[in-house]
Structure 1
């Protein structure tokens, strides 16, 4: 894939570029949004830009892709590309925007690194960028075509109006919305574990986009779940869209929704499955459990969940009901600050040393990055191969391309 000459240059300059990426990415975003303010207004997550997580995710993906090309120049990191492509299609990234990103990203690199960016260095990193961009464009074109065929309409505009038919208060901070296509057309198919994008019009007229996991897929409808994000202790702003939806989205309202996407979904098979989640990360796991129960699965299913306490645990009742309906399943719940004593629940963080992990297990994880790291390490120690551990993380993927 990467030419031998460029591979040598990229390998030699990767430490310098990687070391400066923290300065390059904020400069890049500043230049791009100054030239194209509509991208921040109607495409990029303003909250993630404010707290810097989008910048960290971009830096991680660039470094991971370049490192993969150096380590395996004749291979393409398809798993990493698929994760990015699903996210891009879900928010409406277009092929033309890759040229915009290229222009401002390379301007930022030159400004930060100065004379170190010789014509040879620029050409090598240009090759890296377009290898990644063109691979993503190909995957994204396919995803858009498939999604448009499933729901009808234009592959270049997958947004569709949905009517809210029900609203369920799961906890004080978690609400599920049941929606149906406003045009009466078919609901696009969804795989258990996928998410939808929701586009909401804010008070200032901006149309902000967020992804929310499907927590159910009833006939003729989609159900997604939203946790209201409060302001962070270190100054992060409250979740702009989640608070808007909690305050303003009610039955009878219409909201724009994109078709289900996401590369982490429950695979068919008959081997053991472990579903591990923390906090609101149990929404895709609830959808997986519901699918297994609805299909009468006889697979061994181990469901593990960690939360603050019983009141903050969304889908607590569903976890008990669904694992009871399955023929070979068990539930293992950990509360950091439990309210009272319950014999089937444990105090503290998720500890797989106290949970049976059958041989041949395929694991699916969802939750904050520290939780993912901890549980993945525990699964590896238990003998689960890395290839059989799949994860989903909400928001920018700060773990992309990492093995630890």
Structure 2
């Protein structure tokens, strides 16, 4: 409605106050009308008046209709000079007056009027869109706060916004999400404190009972150790989900980090580890601690399910660093490869209870790699086992990012 009002008002102002024919042309039109009335009463046309038969000119249908109705018709020559024509009633003679001076076009007032119309429309748009823009800005603020783990959020929706109801519902949803995250944080802290204490007492009691029942204590100790590993993995994954930590990106030598993790694995395994890397050093900008966690989980997975060999390779690509960790185990079927990155996911055939694990190691790997803007894929190794391929961008500016 406002756009229509602005358009009609502009047209009215233009016709009434800006666009007017020159005074001499308006005066000539009045004279031509009087002359037409006087000539109807005379029997002979003056020789000074230009006249011709109506059929001698190829008139447009609209022009001919106006002439037949007795109107004074204004036409223009190639030089933009005005000609006034009228038809004598009861005769087929057309009288022509002119030519008159070219009509001056009001170019500057025309564009000034357009500019004023657009300015008024822009002001109206700002008035309409300000509440909407304010609510959308609050949407962005709330999502950023939640992604950073900031649970104290508050927004004030505008009553005049077109999405006021949506904003209010979003605020309710965000408050519930913040409460859930806060409850999860307290739950993790409680689990960390309350479960570790009885586990420590149970381990101490089993150590005291070992002399009395040596045949049953090892099995009970194994169950306690498995429970402790489960709790540790669950707490680690929960901390990642809550984004309590921050990623501190800094350049470091990825080759040295891989070699360090391989040396640690050598202390606990008898499997043959093959390292394929032609670079003495290779700089990667990433979070050192979490990259070590990724390598530790991948190497531990290869050690757990491989038979006798582990393969590690580092390759430099145009925009990524490619890290490969493979084994000679049973491998993972192609239709099951996406499942291994899901939390608590275990594959029955190749991942059984006797091998240990709770199904969180690869989920943690996938989440950390995603934080760094990379991806993790599963292939078949050269020995037929599983091969994990990690792609990491290697040329980012050092920065600090909140975990998403």
Bin of the TM-score, shorter chain as denominator length: under 0.3
Instruction: Identify the structure with the greater helix proportion.
Output: 2
Q: TM-score, normalised by structure 2?
A: 0.27
If asked which structure has higher relative contact order (CA below 8 Å, sep 6+), I would say: 1
